[in-house]
Amino acid sequence: MWKSNNIETNAIHGGKPSQGEHGPLSTPIYQTSTFVFDDVQQGADRFAGDTHGHIYSRLGNPTVDELEARMAILEETEAAAAFGSGMGAVSAAVFGLLKAGDHLITSHRLYGCTFALFSHQLPALGIEVSFVDLADEQKLRAAIQPNTKVIYGETPINPCLTVIDLDVIGAIGRERGITTIIDNTFLSPILQRPATHGIDLVLHSATKYLNGHGDVVAGILCGSRELVDQIKMTTRKDMGAVISPNDAWLIIRGLKTLHLRVQRHCENAQRVAEYLQGHSAIAKIYYPGLPDHPGYRLLGSQMQGAGGVMAFELQCSFEQAVAFINQLQLCKRAVSLGDAETLIQHPASMTHSTYEPEELAAAGISRTLIRLAVGLENAEDILADLDQALATIA
Ligand code: PLP
């Protein structure tokens, strides 16, 4: 299998199997649920793992295989597993690695459904969960218990863009024999590759930048062959959050332009962040591309760019913040990120609506906090739309 030293080239060619009979440029979509065996022995050998070959698409499919091979190359890991959603990847990872009596360390600052899974579903099954500030090494070390099996984080973190130091998390994991998982959705492998900082499993909601066109829900997990195979053959196989071959194909297509799209998302977001920072209606802005953001120090080392997502608080009442969002015309009121369209949402009533008021406070989410996922439009048009809507609350 061909591999370059350049991520842009690997995003286009990486993981492609040899040409096959017809030599298609575009990967074929193997739209099949099952695979035919020549005879009983061949079926038995495949089930026993004695020979390679597909069995049934919940266990593996050639189109999905290509997506997984390409993602492993991009994230610089040995292997990858694709899922039917980002949450499918999160739950397959934690249910595959944890059992009753084990302990997970994470942060209050998480994507809302990941937080719901960790704060409600895991404890109900006897798995202990501690929420600590993962950006604080001392607090993280103090939270480790003899039964700690997993440290799970996002960086930059939903929705205030807090950045955690991956070298610190990776080093603690290795030193203490704890599996580390990082959700890399916000930056994509173009801007950040957690495995190169010693992280064991890298997770994506592939719904976002990887696909990039707002038409697929999917997830990816990248890591060592051993960990990925373990998850594929237990929780992915038995809980069944598999991706369809058609959706895998759409993500393979999305990956071909990932580097161009991410570059433009970053350029547009930087323009928007600088504009908002200078606007009198803005009380606070969170974007790691601005020098006064604490995550800025890791730009150029851990992160090769600040990404396309930012959050800000308006200097106004809750009702005025809602009126501002409703006034926007180009920017679409929608959750998600990483799409061509600029998307705006209100975390307290949308992505983080499962949080109790004290949990919102712990995660730094006020009622006037707004999240903006800057798209690929001409930056002038995005600025003009924000400007006209801000004028209504001035
Ligand atoms: N992780 C992050 C950072 C997210 O933003 C999301 C969804 O918004 C998820 C995971 C869950 O992904 P999905 O919606 O594809 O299940």
Domains of the chain, CATH where assigned: 7-30+61-255 (3.40.640.10), 258-390 (3.90.1150.10)
Which residue has the least CA distance to atom 15 on ligand 1?
A: 86
Asked whether the predicted pLDDT for residue 333 surpasses 90, the reply is yes
Asked whether the predicted pLDDT for residue 361 surpasses 90, the reply is no
Q: Which atom of ligand 1 is nearest to the CA of 218?
A: 15
Distances (CA, A) of 370 to 203, 281, 282: 25, 13, 11
Q: Which atom of ligand 1 is nearest to the CA of 207?
A: 15
Q: Which helix (H) or strand (E) element contains residue 80?
A: strand 79-83
**Confidence class for position 382, pLDDT limits 50, 70, 90:** very high
Q: What is the pTM of this model?
A: 0.96
* Cα–Cα distance for residue pair 8/163, rounded to 1 Å: 25
Most ligand 1 atoms within 8 A of CB, residue of 113, 188, 337 to mutate: 113
Ligand 1 centre and the CA of 369: distance in Å? 19
Ligand 1 centre and the CA of 114: distance in Å? 8
Mean pLDDT over the full length of the chain: 95
* Cα–Cα distance for residue pair 171/141, rounded to 1 Å: 11
Ligand 1 centre and the CA of 273: distance in Å? 23
Ligand 1 centre and the CA of 172: distance in Å? 26
pLDDT in tens, 269-311: 999 999 999 999 999 999 999 999 999 999 999 999 999 999 9
Asked whether the predicted pLDDT for residue 1 surpasses 70, the reply is no
Q: Which of 50-59, 85-94, 226-235, 360-369 has the lowest mean pLDDT?
A: 360-369
Distances (CA, A) of 151 to 98, 102, 161: 11, 12, 19
Distances (CA, A) of 185 to 167, 348, 384: 18, 20, 28
DSSP string, 92-158: HHHHHH--TT-EEEE-S-S-HHHHHIIIIIHHHTT-EEEE--TT-HHHHHHH--TTEEEEEEESSBT
Which residue has the least CA distance to atom 8 on ligand 1?
A: 336
Ligand 1 centre and the CA of 324: distance in Å? 25
Most ligand 1 atoms within 8 A of CB, residue of 94, 109, 111, 188 to mutate: 111
* Cα–Cα distance for residue pair 388/386, rounded to 1 Å: 6
| Residue 59 burial by Cβ neighbours in a 10 Å radius (0-12, 13-18, 19+) | middle
**pLDDT of the residue at 47:** 95
Pocket of ligand 1 (CB under 6 A): 85-87, 111, 113-114, 154, 158, 183, 185, 205, 207, 217, 219
The residues carrying an active-site annotation are 58, 111, 183, 208
| Residue from 96, 156, 144, 159 nearest 122 by CA | 96
* Cα–Cα distance for residue pair 3/104, rounded to 1 Å: 36
Which residue has the least CA distance to atom 2 on ligand 1?
A: 111
Residues 201, 181 contacting (CB under 8 angstroms) = yes
**Confidence class for position 100, pLDDT limits 50, 70, 90:** very high
**Confidence class for position 54, pLDDT limits 50, 70, 90:** very high
Which residue has the least CA distance to atom 13 on ligand 1?
A: 86
**pLDDT of the residue at 354:** 82
Most ligand 1 atoms within 8 A of CB, residue of 182, 201, 205, 244 to mutate: 205
Q: Which atom of ligand 1 is nearest to the CA of 154?
A: 3
Higher pLDDT among residues 255 and 349, named by residue? 255
SS3 223: strand
* Cα–Cα distance for residue pair 350/112, rounded to 1 Å: 9
Which residue has the least CA distance to atom 14 on ligand 1?
A: 86
**pLDDT of the residue at 363:** 79
**Confidence class for position 2, pLDDT limits 50, 70, 90:** low
Ligand 1 centre and the CA of 111: distance in Å? 7
**Confidence class for position 353, pLDDT limits 50, 70, 90:** confident
Q: Count the neighbouring beta carbons within 10 Å of the beta carbon of residue 291.
A: 8
